[in-house]
Amino acid sequence: MQSSAFMSRKEIIGFAILAALIFLVLPAVLDNFRLNLFGKYLTYAFVAVGLALCWGAGGILSLGQGVFFGLGGYCMAMFLKLEASTPENTAIQSTPGIPDFMDWNQLTELPWWWEPFYSLPLALLAVVAVPVMFAFVIGVAMFTRRVGGVYFAIITQAFAAIMTILIIGQQGYTGGVNGITDLRTLMGWDIRTDEAKTILYFVNGALLFAVLLIAQYVRKSKLGRLLIAMRDQEDRVRFSGYNVANFKIFIFCLGAAFAGIGGAMFTLQVGFMSPTLVGIVPSIEMVIFCAVGGRLSILGAVYGALLVNWAKTSLSESFPELWLLGLGGLFIAVVMFFPNGLAGVWSEKIEPRLLALFSKKKPDTSAPDGAPAE
């Protein structure tokens, strides 16, 4: 890939602006508490970027991204929980050395499938591998039978429901409705201090950029163009000799991997993982992050995740009743009036005017793609 084909000049500027925002502007203007909140929002941005690829480019709407987010998050949380449950820390339990919620549920030994999570490399592998394997199974079953569109959306939503019921029902193994809480250290490094949270924020940002670059690479590759072709005219792509199902499976797995990484970072940044982040409601909220930012733009998805969550926090702090109305209105407004989200508003309305403004002075200045004005 030559760099000119990988990213246009416009896109380089867009990436640079987002980088400046995440790494310079936000840390400079926000206090520790708010920066930690934005760190949490960034973890949702991973999911939104994955959705921009699956849904925006590939036309596959998954209402089950929360499952992958949760799987990644739970894998990380299981490792951290085991590290926190040393026999010394849990000496008051009837069975020391196992996580506290297991003890409360009368379990006397660690279930076998928790064992691998003593090892950090295995846990990190699981963060990506478990969601991807799950997505692969769903993808193979659905896409090779040409199930798509609304049916796919409904079935992924059913998975989100199943996963929540399962986690809540099996509380001895999963921590139940409270989730896995009271996480303390990562390899001896206390993740609860302000300093650690700030470092994690930057780790989050860096990982998000890695994910964005992968997404950009996929979009610009032949695969990305095929995805868009499939979204618009699936049969033509099929008749041209491509195996449509394989591309869909790949992009769905990639989205799941992104969501898994986001979930793991959520666990680290916020310090717990619970079924409230897995179910139907969070999954569909993740779709709205992507829709608000602009389903076609990976950078827009990041802005969408940040803006919607920021609005959610500020609105529900001051007017808790208004938030649901606002969110509902947002869903309707985005669908009815801005189908391409903020990125669409930017590239259709704002950018041409800016261009007209600048072209009088300097003929060759272009504005960033998909970077909505804030």
- Smallest distance from other proteins to CB 307, Å: 17
The DSSP bridge pattern shows strands 185-186 and 189-190 to be antiparallel
β-strand partners of 190: 185
Q: Which of residues 41-80 bind other proteins (CB under 8 A)?
A: 55, 61
The conformation of residue 185, written as its DSSP 8-state character, comes to E
- # residues contacting other proteins (CB under 8 A): 42
Asked if 229 touches other proteins (CB under 8 A), the answer is no
Q: Which is nearer to other proteins, 334 or 342 (CB)?
A: 334
Task: Give the separation between CA 156 and CA 152, rounded to whole angstroms.
Answer: 6
Asked if 311 touches other proteins (CB under 8 A), the answer is no
- Smallest distance from other proteins to CB 232, Å: 13
Say if residue 308 is exposed, middle or buried (CB neighbours under 10 Å; 0-12, 13-18, 19+). buried
- Phi-psi map region of 86: left, alpha, beta (phi>0 left; psi -120 to 50 alpha): beta
Helix (H) or strand (E) holding 165: helix 149-169
Asked if 111 touches other proteins (CB under 8 A), the answer is no
Asked if 158 touches other proteins (CB under 8 A), the answer is yes
Applying CB under 8 A, among 17, 214, 280, 350 the residue interacting with other proteins is 280
Q: Which stretch binds other proteins (CB under 8 A): 36-44, 85-93, 220-228, 324-332?
A: 324-332
- Classify each residue of 356-368 as buried b or exposed e, where b means 16 or more C-beta atoms within 10 Å of its C-beta: eeeeeeeeeeebb
Asked if 327 touches other proteins (CB under 8 A), the answer is yes
Applying CB under 8 A, among 43, 65, 85, 157 the residue interacting with other proteins is 157
Task: Give the separation between CA 210 and CA 213, rounded to whole angstroms.
Answer: 5
Q: Which is nearer to other proteins, 111 or 149 (CB)?
A: 149
β-strand partners of 186: 189
Rule CB under 8 A: which residues touch other proteins? 55, 61, 141-142, 145-147, 149-151, 153-155, 157-159, 161-162, 165-166, 168-170, 280-281, 284, 287-288, 291, 321, 324-325, 327-332, 334-336, 339
